[in-house]
Amino acid sequence: NAGVMQNPRHLVRRRGQEARLRCSPMKGHSHVYWYRQLPEEGLKFMVYLQKENIIDESGMPKERFSAEFPKEGPSILRIQQVVRGDSAAYFCASSPPGDWGNEQFFGPGTRLTVL
């Protein structure tokens, strides 16, 4: 059973370009979470999704950031018109369905560098 997969592992973009980060949850997991880790800081929650639904986006910046988790395919975190402050590691985690105060399984992260 493969773990959570993220691609690309490293992404370089120039200011103003778009960044698309992909996350494939573990098999059987229907909950996906995105976090951002700035240098020397902890993970900050961004968004929590289930298939075709955004459950909690309280950590998402109001502009330029969006996320989706379609019925088929990976979850996508999209950052439009990137700025230098978007440079960070973006981690995806998944968990199985159910109400249990869940164990989240993390992917290896995508390290975004904005030039």
Partner 1 sequence: GEDVEQSLFLSVREGDSSVINCTYTDSSSTYLYWYKQEPGAGLQLLTYIFSNMDMKQDQRLTVLLNKKDKHLSLRIADTQTGDSAIYFCAESTSGGSYIPTFGRGTSLIVHP
Q: CB nearer to partner 1: give 13 or 36.
A: 36
Report in angstroms how near the CB of residue 57 gets to partner 1 at its nearest: 11
Tokens describing residue 18: 């778009």
DSSP element (H, E) containing 34? strand 31-37
Residues that bind partner 1 (CB under 8 A): 4, 33, 35, 40-45, 48, 55-56, 91, 93, 100-109
Q: CB nearer to partner 1: give 72 or 103.
A: 103
b/e map 21-39, b = 16+ CB within 10 Å: bbbbbbeebebbbbbbeee
Q: CB nearer to partner 1: give 40 or 72.
A: 40
